[in-house]
Amino acid sequence: MADIFSFNMNTLLSGETLMTGLRVIVIAIAGFILLKVLTFMTGRAVKKRLSPHSAMLVKKAIFYTGAFIILVTVLRQLGFKLTALLGAAGIAGIALGFASQTSVSNIISGIFLISEKPFAVDDIIKVGDTTGIILSIDLLSIKIRTFDNMFIRIPNETLIKTAVTNVTRFPIRRLNIDISIAYKEDLDRVKEILLVIAKENPYCLDNPEPLFVIKEFGTSGVELLLGLWFVKTDYLQLKNSVMLTIKKRFDEEGIEIPFPHMSIYSGTVTKPFPVHIVEDVYNDVVTVAKKGK
C-alpha cells in the first residue's frame, strides 16, 4: 500500500506532470482574464454603434466562444483526445438539444426580437392580458413591471408567437371614448358640446383635430365615438379629466346617457302600453295589463 502511494505521488510530482498542471492553470487564468478584457473592450467599442440588446448579444457571443476555446485548449493540455471528446459531445448535444428545445427556441426568438426591434427598454407593451413597462430584454425572456408593481417574465418564444402591442412606440396617441346618448337628443348640439370639452381640456391636442363619429343607431341609444389625440404620457390625466367633464356637462345640459333598456309596445308604436286598474285591495293598487286595449 505504501509502495503504491509512494509510486503515485512520485508520478504525480514528476516534472512533466507538474509542468502540465502549471500550463493548464496559467492558460485557464490568463485566458479568462484576457477574455474578460476582450469582452469589456468590445462592449465599449460597440456601445455607441449598436442598441443595448445587440451589444449584449455581441458580448455574450464573444464570451462563450472564448470560453469554449479556453476549455478545448485546457483539455488538450491535459491529454484528452478531442476527436473522441467531440464525438461524445455530438451525441450529448443531440440529447441536450431534445431536452432543451424550449430554451433554444427562446434564444432564437430572442435573436429575432433583438434584430427586429419591435420594442425597447422603458416601452409600455401589452401581451395578452398583461400590460407593463419593459425592464430588460434578454436572450431567453423579457422582464416587465406591471402598473400594480408586479414583476413578470415573458419567454421570448411567447412574444414571437403572439401579438404584442407597443403602446408607447409613437409620440402621440388617440383616446377613443364610446358615448351613448338617448334618441331624443339633438346630435348637432351634442357634437358641439363634445368638441368644446375637447378644446378646453389642456391634455387634448388641438392638432390632429378631435374626431367625432356617429357610429350607429344602437338598441338603447345613438352610439357616438369621440377620438382625442394626446401626448403618450398624458393618458390617465386626459382620460379621467375628459370623462368627468363629459358626465358633468351632460348632466348640466340635460343630455341623457341611456342605460340598456327595452321598450315594449302593444301593437302600435305611437300608443302607450295599456294599463287597466281592476281592483283596490288593502289600499294597494293592483294593476293588470289587459291585452288588446
Partner 1 sequence: MNLWEPKKILDDQEYRWKIGLLDLWIKPMKMEWLVGYEYTADNSDVAVIGGPSQKPESVQWSRFIFSGATNYVQLSPVMPDRAVVVSAELPVKILPKSSAQFFIRIPVWVRVNAGNKMDTLLCEIPSMQLSNSWFGDVINGELCYSIDTHARYDVDPAQKYSGYAVCPVLIHNDSLGQIDFQQICVHVEHLRVFAGSEKLWTNEVTIRFFSNEQPSQVTFSEKKPSWEGGCKLISGERVPVTKSLLKKSFSILRYITSFE
Only one residue has cell 396617441, namely 173
What 8-state DSSP symbol labels residue 224? Answer: E
170 forms part of the interface with partner 1 (CB under 8 A): yes
How far apart CA 213 and CA 224 sit, in angstroms, is: 6
Select the residue interacting with partner 1 from 71, 172, 278, 286 (CB under 8 A): 172
Instruction: Give the residue, chosen from 229, 242, 246, 255, that forms a contact with partner 1 under the rule CB under 8 A.
Output: 229
Single out the residue of 60, 199, 248, 290 in contact with partner 1 (rule: CB under 8 A): 199
Candidates 113, 156, 164, 203: give the one binding partner 1 (CB under 8 A): 203
* Per-residue cell: 148: 400594480
Is the Cβ–Cβ distance between 135 and 121 less than 8 Å?
Answer: yes
Binding flag, residue 195, partner 1 (CB under 8 A): no
Bridge-partner residues for 131, per DSSP?
Answer: 126
DSSP assignments along 128-150, one per residue: TTEEEEEEEE-SSEEEEEETTS-
CB of 170 to partner 1, least distance (A): 6
Of the candidate spans 57-65, 68-76, 205-213, 244-252, the one that interacts with partner 1 by CB under 8 A turns out to be 205-213
Residues in contact with 114: Cβ distance below 8 Å, sequence separation at least 6, in sequence order: 51, 53, 54, 57, 137
| Residue among 107 and 211 whose Cβ is closer to partner 1 | 211
Asked if 202 is part of the footprint of partner 1 (rule: CB under 8 A), the reply reads: yes
Instruction: Pick the closer one to partner 1 by CB: 136 or 240.
Output: 240
- Per CB under 8 A, which region of 113-121, 129-137, 223-231, 246-254 contacts partner 1? 223-231
Contacting partner 1 (CB under 8 A), which of 209, 216, 251, 253?
209
Report whether 194 contacts 151 (CB < 8 A).
no
C-alpha–C-alpha distance, residues 108 and 139, integer Å: 8
State residue 119 phi and psi, 5-degree precision.
-155, 170
Asked if residues 194 and 255 have their Cβ atoms less than 8 Å apart, the reply is no
**C-alpha triplet 130, 132, 138: angle, nearest 5°:** 100
Choice from 152, 167, 231, 257 touching partner 1 (CB under 8 A): 231
> Would you count residue 118 as binding partner 1 (CB under 8 A)?
no
Q: Which of 207, 268, 270, 283 binds partner 1 (CB under 8 A)?
A: 207
Pick the closer one to partner 1 by CB: 144 or 204. 204
- Total residues contacting partner 1 by CB under 8 A comes to 19
Would you count residue 211 as binding partner 1 (CB under 8 A)? yes
Which residues neighbour 44 within 8 Å (Cβ) at sequence distance 6 or greater?
none
Q: Which cell numbers hold the place of 199?
A: 378644446
Cell matching residue 261:
333598456
| 3, 116, 206, 279: residue in contact with partner 1 (rule CB under 8 A) | 206
Piece of the chain touching partner 1 by CB under 8 A; list 37-45, 55-63, 130-138, 165-173 = 165-173
Contact 59, 39 (CB under 8 A): yes
Residues 242-261 that bind partner 1 (CB under 8 A): none
Q: Pick between residue 236 and residue 288 the one whose CB is nearest to partner 1.
A: 236
User: Which residues contact partner 1 by CB under 8 A?
Assistant: 170-172, 174, 199, 202-209, 211, 213, 225, 227, 229, 231
